[in-house]
A = this chain, B = another copy of it.
């Protein structure tokens, strides 16, 4: 069902239902109904908006893509989720850079 998948990916991105609705520009009432399988036939434009915020393609939402990584991807899935969360939380690349520099420095201190 589409609803479960939307919810699953939303959680992975660390977003609340209201946040996702706002960012995607859809009504939270409808999003809520969709996640609870009350609505089951969304339009493609609706799904496109949601998929864009969640950084996934539409058929991630249509079929179960549990069969993740065919191995050998250079970013492991744990990190991928973290970055997604970071992007959605509004952290800028610059702030992330600073954080990185600081940590490199800290590591060299020990």
Interface residues of chain A, those whose CB is within 8 Å of chain B, are 2, 40-45, 47-48, 55-59, 62, 72-76, 78-80, 82-87, 89-91, 93, 95-97, 99-100, 103-104, 107
Contact A41 to B45, CB < 8 A, known contacts A59-B57, A82-B96, A103-B91:
yes
Interface residue SS majority, chain A = helix
B89–A107 CB distance below 8 A? yes
How many copies of this chain? Answer: 2
**B58/A59 in contact, CB under 8 A:** yes
Q: Are A74 and B84 in touch, CB under 8 angstroms?
A: yes
Whether A2 pairs with B99 at a CB distance below 8 angstroms is: no
Which residues of B have CB within 8 Å of A78?
93
